[in-house]
């Protein structure tokens, strides 16, 4: 473990970012603001589910925010797989920057009214400790969570597409 985040799980885990929202389309920072998918996001979730159809997903763990919950439910219906919601998988709270253009949020800052980086790390570590280390799990969450898990939070160079499965290279 590094900073409370499991570096490796004994079984590969598939990750998927939620589908697009109107705020994504406008370049606004969502964080913990509960925004639903837009029509494009629902279509993306359907396509992502089709891509997962032969992956043998046995269970889905999802952030409880609407954009992830909707994505997970669409995938769940396609795969006939149960969904487990966990608010500890929610995106980082960006406080006063939520609803504003992403470019207005200073890099590497603990936002006023939001979560510190340490709080975010601890919460995501807790979420992963609650998810069984089993084969063929899908985690539907947010780009910030996926970047954190993949170790790219500072660089922010990792592009996380909407509703596209991300398979690990190795366990």
DSSP letter at 122 equals: H
Strand 59-62 and strand 83-85: the pairing is: parallel
44, 70, 91, 115: the catalytic one is 91
- 18 among known catalytic residues: yes
DSSP string over 38-68? -HHHHHHHHHHHHHHTTTT--EEEE-SSHHH
CA distances from 63 to 4, 105, 109 (A): 18, 23, 23
- 134 among known catalytic residues: no
Give the DSSP H or E segment for 14.
Answer: strand 13-17
Residue numbers annotated as active site: 18, 91
């Amino acid at each position: 473990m590094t900073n409370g985040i499991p570096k490796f799980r004994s079984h590969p885990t598939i990750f998927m970012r939620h589908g697009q929202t109107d705020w994504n389309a406008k370049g606004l920072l969502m964080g913990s603001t509960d925004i639903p998918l837009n029509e494009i996001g629902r279509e993306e979730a359907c396509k992502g589910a089709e891509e997962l159809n032969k992956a043998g997903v046995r269970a889905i763990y999802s952030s409880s925010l609407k954009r992830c919950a909707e994505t997970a439910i669409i995938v769940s219906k396609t795969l006939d797989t149960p969904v487990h919601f966990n608010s500890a998988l929610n995106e980082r709270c960006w406080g006063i920057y939520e609803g504003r253009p992403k470019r207005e949020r200073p890099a590497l800052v603990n936002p006023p009214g939001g979560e510190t980086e340490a709080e975010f790390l601890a919460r995501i570590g807790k979420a992963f400790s609650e998810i069984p280390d089993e084969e063929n799990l899908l985690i539907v969450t947010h780009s910030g969570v996926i970047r954190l898990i993949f170790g790219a939070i500072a660089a922010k160079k990792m592009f996380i597409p909407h509703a596209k499965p991300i398979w690990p290279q190795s366990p």
